[in-house]
Every structure is written in C-alpha cells, then in structure tokens.
C-alpha cells in the first residue's frame, strides 16, 4: 500500500503533501524505520522506507486509503475499463450484460420493449460525468463503511498478535478523514491581464491568507491580478481532486501550478458547486475532526458488551461462591458475544471435571483491557452487596 503518513519525533502523523521530497526525519508508523518522501511523476506521492519495507506496508490493497478520493478508475480491470469506455465513448453496449454485475451500468426496457443500458453513478465517475453533489452522496457511505470495517477489525484484534497493526490502520484512516474534514473547499475567480481564470483549492486557514499567497504565486506569470471568492464549502476537502478530474479538460497549467482552469461556461460549474449539500457531520466525523482518539483506543464498551457487576466481579475472582452469587452469571460469562462473535470469557480447566472454570484467553484479554473501564463506572472490584 502507499504510506501517506509518517510519524514525527513528537508522535504526530505528518501527511506526505505537507513536506518536501527526499530524506525526512519521520518514521514508519508500523515499524519505526526512517522514511523518504517519494514524489515522482508516475506514482502518487507516498513515503518509502529508507531500508527494507516492512511487512505491514508491503500489504496489498487500499486498507488505509480514502475510497474514490485520488483515483477515479475504481480499480477496474483493463477489460472492464475497456468495455466501459467503449460504452461511454462509442455507445457499444456489447459488454454491458456483465458490466451490470459490477454496478457500472443499469439496464432498462424501452417503451418498444428493447433492453438498453445507462451508466450508474459509479459508472459515471471514471469519466467525471457525475455531479459534485452526487459524487459526495456516492463517496460518503464508502468512507463510512471502510471506517466501520477498520474499527471492527481493530476491536476483533484485541489481544492478538495483529492488534498494533490494526490499530495503526485505524489511526491512519482517521488521519485521512480528518484531513478532508478540516479542509474548506474554495473556488475563486482570477482576473489577469490575459483573461479570466478560475482556481479550486482547499485550505484550513482564513481564505484571505490563502488569497494573498495565490496572488504571490501568480505574480511571475501575470503581474498584479484581481481575485474574487466565488464560494467556500466547509468540510469538503473530499471534492477537490474529483473536481480536478471532472473538469480536467479545462485545466490551464501555469508553470508548476495545476489548480487553474479556463472555463467556457462558468455558470454550469458554479451551479455544480452550489448544488452540493452542506456537509452534516456524523458523530464519528465530529470526533475525528476534534482529534479525539478512536473508541478502540479509548476502550469504549457498548452497553451490551458490559458485564453485570456480579459477572465482572466473578471474572475478577473466579470462585464457586462468586459464580453462584446469582443465577445466570456462569451463562453470562460463558456465552459472551464480542462484536457479533461468540467469545467465551471462561473455560473449564482441562483434565478435570471441575465445575470451577478459569478465564479463557479472550477472558484474560477482556479483563486486562477493560478493568479501567469498570473502575471508571464505579464497578469496584469488591464483592457486590
């Protein structure tokens, strides 16, 4: 996978785009190896190890990447991409019967009884044909799903060998979410002596500061320019790259600057931007934006994952008396369910028919991981009345 973050000496995650290329003082979040910032022409910017790449970063796939954020080919195979392109460019629907299985096209029956196909929202993304508003609606659930998967996987890895790796995966994904959520998307008009240009971008600072920098960037090319804000959209860092993809035909490259456009119909672009619904933050997103640690790191238990005070006490002190204190304690410990999986907290002592069990491997993990939580809830480790 592409490593997008390195860890600084003070433990902060530093994003690849916020530092220059070459050797860095940052380290790999997984293995602590020094990192080099790779910013070539061909591959997306990423960190490489200054030495042997660790197993965690060698993993294939997009584990910690934001879905449909910086690559819009949707990881289609060459064959699927070709077939989709032929349908889009040449109306050749010969392969649509199987493209439908990928959710890229959808069939319908015409009033004359013929079967025809349309591109779905997903199928429109590789061509940039999906509006910005619908793009948000398509991407948001994908981000949410990947987040939930990573969180669940991290919870299930509790006490296992992979625990540290899964927790870092979750942290890196949260860092990615935070980066797009704390960004404000802006769109400005730039009046130069040679005509009008438009610029898309994101910033976490007041727009006036950013505009002063833009003026400075453009000075060598156009001299003094007039800059007018046409809109800002909070928490919409997710859209910037899709916007560039959607309007790539109108891009006007100025030296090394790639965020400028010369549009022939600016009204259409403005209405595309203005149709985007204001971002409503979910509880998780608000938490991520505030820089809080994940529920896994904070050891937050759901109500149905909390034992009754008597069962917790019995787990802490496994004696016959404590297990018999109330009917059902044994059952509660034995049939414990963790993130949808049956994970008994106790098991019989092997080689005996003893009624008295001991903690299972997961029982040990649970006991160690959540003792502080029970203590915070004032469920003290002493015999309940």
- Based on the shown chain and the rule CB under 5 A, indicate whether residue 28 belongs to the binding site for Zn ion: yes
Stretch that binds Zn ion, among 52-60, 107-115, 230-238, 301-309 (CB under 5 A): 52-60
Distance of CA 52 to the CA centre of its chain: 27
Helix 309-316 / helix 361-376 crossing angle, nearest 10 deg: 130
- Based on the shown chain and the rule CB under 5 A, indicate whether residue 30 belongs to the binding site for Zn ion: yes
Strand, coil or helix: what is 32?
coil
Of 36 and 54, which has the nearer Cβ to Zn ion?
A: 54
Distance of CA 352 to the CA centre of its chain: 49
Q: Which residue has the tokens 């960004």?
A: 183
Of 59 and 331, which has the nearer Cβ to Zn ion?
A: 59
Stretch that binds Zn ion, among 29-37, 183-191, 273-281, 307-315 (CB under 5 A): 29-37
Of 12 and 337, which has the nearer Cβ to Zn ion?
A: 12
Q: Which residue has the tokens 């860095």?
A: 24
CB of 260 to Zn ion, least distance (A): 37
CB of 1 to Zn ion, least distance (A): 11
Stretch that binds Zn ion, among 21-29, 164-172, 173-181, 254-262 (CB under 5 A): 21-29
Q: Which of 54, 207, 230, 316 binds Zn ion (CB under 5 A)?
A: 54
Which sign does the torsion angle of CA 32, 38, 44, 45 carry?
positive
Q: 86, 65 in Cβ contact below 8 A? A: no
Of 50 and 324, which has the nearer Cβ to Zn ion?
A: 50
Binders of Zn ion in range 235-264 (CB under 5 A): none
CB of 10 to Zn ion, least distance (A): 19
Residue 107 β-bridge partners: 117
Stretch that binds Zn ion, among 49-57, 160-168, 256-264, 376-384 (CB under 5 A): 49-57
Give the ranges where the chain is alpha helix by DSSP (H).
Answer: 55-58, 78-90, 96-99, 121-124, 132-156, 163-181, 207-222, 240-246, 266-274, 283-289, 309-316, 320-323, 329-334, 361-376
The tokens for 261 are 């456009």
Length of the chain equals: 385
CB of 31 to Zn ion, least distance (A): 3
Of 182, 217, 259, 215, the residue nearest 15 (C-alpha): 182
Stretch that binds Zn ion, among 28-36, 99-107, 196-204, 260-268 (CB under 5 A): 28-36
CB of 27 to Zn ion, least distance (A): 8
Q: Which of 8, 15, 31, 373 binds Zn ion (CB under 5 A)?
A: 31
Q: Which residue has the tokens 């820089």?
A: 291
Q: Is residue 251 packed enough to be buried (19+ CB in 10 Å), middle (13-18) or exposed (0-12)? A: middle
- Based on the shown chain and the rule CB under 5 A, indicate whether residue 5 belongs to the binding site for Zn ion: no
Of 49 and 198, which has the nearer Cβ to Zn ion?
A: 49
How many residues touch Zn ion (CB under 5 A)? 6
Of 6 and 126, which has the nearer Cβ to Zn ion?
A: 6
CB of 51 to Zn ion, least distance (A): 9
Of 7 and 273, which has the nearer Cβ to Zn ion?
A: 7
How many Å apart are CA 49 and CA 2, to the nearest integer? 11
Helix 163-181 / helix 132-156 crossing angle, nearest 10 deg: 160
Of 13 and 225, which has the nearer Cβ to Zn ion?
A: 13
CB of 29 to Zn ion, least distance (A): 7
Stretch that binds Zn ion, among 53-61, 172-180, 196-204, 307-315 (CB under 5 A): 53-61
Interacting residues of 197 by C-beta distance below 8 A, sequence separation 6+: 189, 190, 252, 260, 261, 262
- Based on the shown chain and the rule CB under 5 A, indicate whether residue 164 belongs to the binding site for Zn ion: no
CB of 57 to Zn ion, least distance (A): 5
- Based on the shown chain and the rule CB under 5 A, indicate whether residue 207 belongs to the binding site for Zn ion: no
Binding site for Zn ion (CB under 5 A): 28, 30-31, 33, 54, 57
């Amino acid at each position: 996978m592409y490593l997008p973050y390195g860890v600084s000496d003070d433990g902060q995650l530093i994003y690849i785009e916020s530092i220059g290329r070459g050797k860095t003082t940052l380290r790999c979040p997984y293995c602590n190896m020094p990192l080099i910032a790779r910013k070539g022409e061909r591959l997306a910017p990423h960190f490489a190890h200054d030495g042997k790449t660790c197993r965690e970063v060698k993993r294939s796939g997009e584990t910690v990447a934001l879905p449909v954020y910086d690559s819009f080919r949707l990881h289609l195979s060459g064959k699927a991409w070709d077939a989709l392109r032929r349908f889009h460019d040449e109306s050749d629907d010969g392969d649509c019967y199987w493209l439908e299985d990928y959710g890229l096209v959808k069939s319908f029956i015409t009033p004359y009884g013929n079967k025809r196909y349309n591109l779905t929202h997903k199928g429109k993304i590789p061509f940039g044909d999906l509006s910005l508003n619908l793009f948000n609606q398509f991407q948001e659930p994908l981000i949410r799903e990947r987040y939930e998967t990573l969180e669940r996987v991290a919870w299930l890895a509790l006490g296992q060998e992979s625990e540290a790796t899964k927790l870092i995966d979750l942290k890196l994904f949260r860092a990615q979410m935070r980066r797009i959520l704390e960004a404000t998307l802006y769109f400005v008009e730039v009046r130069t002596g040679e005509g009008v240009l438009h610029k898309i971008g994101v910033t976490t600072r007041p727009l006036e500061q950013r505009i002063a920098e833009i003026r400075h960037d453009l000075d060598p090319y156009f001299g003094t320019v007039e800059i007018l804000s046409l809109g800002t959209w909070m928490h919409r860092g997710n859209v910037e790259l899709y916007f560039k993809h959607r309007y790539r035909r109108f891009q006007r490259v100025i030296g090394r600057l790639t965020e400028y456009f010369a549009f022939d119909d600016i009204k259409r672009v403005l209405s595309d931007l203005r149709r985007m619904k204001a971002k409503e933050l979910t509880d998780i997103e608000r938490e991520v934006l505030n820089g809080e640690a994940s529920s896994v790191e904070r050891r937050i238990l759901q109500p149905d994952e909390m034992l009754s005070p008597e069962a917790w006490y019995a787990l802490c002190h496994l004696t016959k008396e404590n297990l018999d204190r109330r009917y059902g304690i044994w059952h509660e410990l034995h049939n414990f369910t963790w993130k949808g999986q049956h994970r008994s907290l106790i098991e019989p002592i092997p080689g005996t028919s003893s009624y008295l069990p001991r903690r299972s491997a997961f029982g040990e993990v649970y006991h160690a991981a959540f003792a502080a939580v029970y203590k915070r809830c004032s469920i003290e480790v002493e015999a309940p009345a």
